[in-house]
Amino acid sequence: MESPPAVAARRPGTHPKAGPSRLGWLDALRGIAALVVVFDHSSYTFLAHFRAELMPQFNTSRYGIMVFFLVSGYIVPASLERRGCVRTFWIGRLFRVYPLWAAVVVLLLAAHLLGVAEIRDFGARSVVSVVVAHVTMLQELLGTPSLLLVLWTLSYEMSFYLLVVALFTVRLHQRSAATSVLLAVLAAVSVTVGVTVPPSALTGLLGTGPLIASVSVTMAVAVGCASSGSPSLRRFGGVLGGVLALVLVAFNGTVPLWESLVILAVMFLGTAVHHAENGRSSRRHAVGCAVVVVACAVGSAYGYGGDAPFARRGWIVAFLLAVLTFGAGLLVRRQRLPRLLTGLGAISYSVYLVHPVLLAVVDGTVGRRRDDDAVLEVAFFVVLLPVCVLTHRYVEEPGRRWGRRFARPTAVPISDRDD
């Protein structure tokens, strides 16, 4: 997941402490979301009874990831539009997301080999298919369980990247509000008319191996063509990637169809807010988009027959609080925020990916608590956060520097080419 830069661009000669970071509010939101997600997962181990009482009323996991998705929607398309180059965008994504992803996967596998952590059972799936599915980061949409539970959200992030590139290559990237509304309305309609898609439907139809092979090849072609210098190839690759993302989200997800569509709608809502904040669309459109998305999301969750009433309540409360949290961030975006929150946001990607590994080691050694223990819950955070500071400094930051180095030499904005 994208972590916005901690420090905004400044005019030459401006002192670094002259004012609040332009994107500090996004860092703060990500810091809050990361802590809530960690609590959601660590409470399985340390506060199981409290968690059982809380979840039906407030789904902490959905709250955290919806805040993350809103922030990603706000910042990720902006980086593509600012650079104006699909190739640079994909290089930036590659070096931003994969280094830490690879590091935590290696750590988990090492812990498993040492006998201090267990990994998920992949059934009859071959090692090659599991590896390829994870490398695409679409494993959750390819009928393959994620090695780390939290990686499922990265499959939706990757789908969003493909859709963003698709809209950019066909010059529709300014239509984010309309895209968000369309996805949200489709979610509501799917519930209203009773459209249901079995989990991993395409996998059941085609088989895990063939689907993974065909999707990985299609994705490579889409990204390669969209990153090329040829306008026609660029459009072809963009559209191909966008269609691939929509097909997988609609027909091969593991969450209900309506929620998959709501997730994408929420991310494009974040983009619509960014466009309104920067004068690329009216704030009236952004507000209208938010109203429609919230109404459709809540209506879809309420009307979905597969959830128990209290489960629906927990999802709806979490969703509404996530939107309100994002709105509160917008209200204080020009204020100086506590350094603790912005600092947590800077390491939020590490917090998000590292904590499941640490929890797996705890579960594999001392085991889960039978009784709630708030002291151990706090101790887990005390151990986790310094580790994440280190992974951010020595894994994430070098990766980003390498990404900038590889992207700089040949990247030419689309607007500078004869299109």
Question: Are 19 and 333 contacting, i.e. CB atoms less than 8 angstroms apart?
Answer: no
**Can you give the pLDDT at residue 406?**
84
**Can you give the pLDDT at residue 193?**
92
In a domain, 122, yes or no: yes
- Which of 66, 278, 261, 256 minimizes the C-alpha distance to 173? 278
**Can you give the pLDDT at residue 22?**
64
CA dihedral 155, 159, 162, 165 (to 10 degrees): -110
Cα separations (Å) of 296 from 54, 60, 262? Answer: 25, 21, 8
DSSP letter for each residue of 340-409 = HHHHHHHTHHHHHHHHHHHHHHHHHHT---SS--HHHHHHHHHHHHHHHHHHIIIIIHHHHHHHHHHHTT
- Which of 162, 118, 126 minimizes the C-alpha distance to 141? 162
Question: Are 296 and 184 contacting, i.e. CB atoms less than 8 angstroms apart?
Answer: yes
CA distance 183 to 251: 15
Written as one letter, the residue type at 161 is Y
In a domain, 6, yes or no: no
In a domain, 374, yes or no: yes
CA distance 34 to 329: 15
In a domain, 11, yes or no: no
**Can you give the pLDDT at residue 29?**
96
Q: How many CB atoms lie within 10 A of CB 83?
A: 17
Return the residue matching tokens 């968000």. Answer: 180
Q: How many CB atoms lie within 10 A of CB 413?
A: 12
Q: What range does the domain containing 129 cover?
A: 24-410
pTM score of the predicted model: 0.90
**Can you give the pLDDT at residue 3?**
47
**Can you give the pLDDT at residue 279?**
84
* Separation of CA 231 from chain center: 29
Token representation of residue 116: 């201090």
- Which of 104, 114, 204 minimizes the C-alpha distance to 150? 104
Distant-in-sequence, close-in-space partners of 37: CB < 8 Å, separation ≥ 6: 60, 61, 64, 65, 68, 150, 352, 355
CA dihedral 10, 15, 20, 22 (to 10 degrees): 10
Question: Are 142 and 203 contacting, i.e. CB atoms less than 8 angstroms apart?
Answer: yes
End-to-end CA distance of the chain: 31
Cα separations (Å) of 186 from 140, 173, 258, 269, 327? Answer: 21, 20, 8, 15, 24
In a domain, 16, yes or no: no
Question: Are 319 and 298 contacting, i.e. CB atoms less than 8 angstroms apart?
Answer: yes
DSSP SS3 for 293: helix
Return the residue matching tokens 């629906």. Answer: 312
Mean pLDDT, each 10-residue run in order, the chain (419 residues): 42 38 85 96 94 92 96 93 91 94 95 92 88 96 92 96 96 93 96 90 93 97 95 96 97 94 97 91 91 96 73 93 96 89 94 96 89 94 97 95 77 39
Domain count, the chain: 1
In a domain, 7, yes or no: no
In a domain, 254, yes or no: yes
Question: Are 387 and 347 contacting, i.e. CB atoms less than 8 angstroms apart?
Answer: no
In a domain, 2, yes or no: no
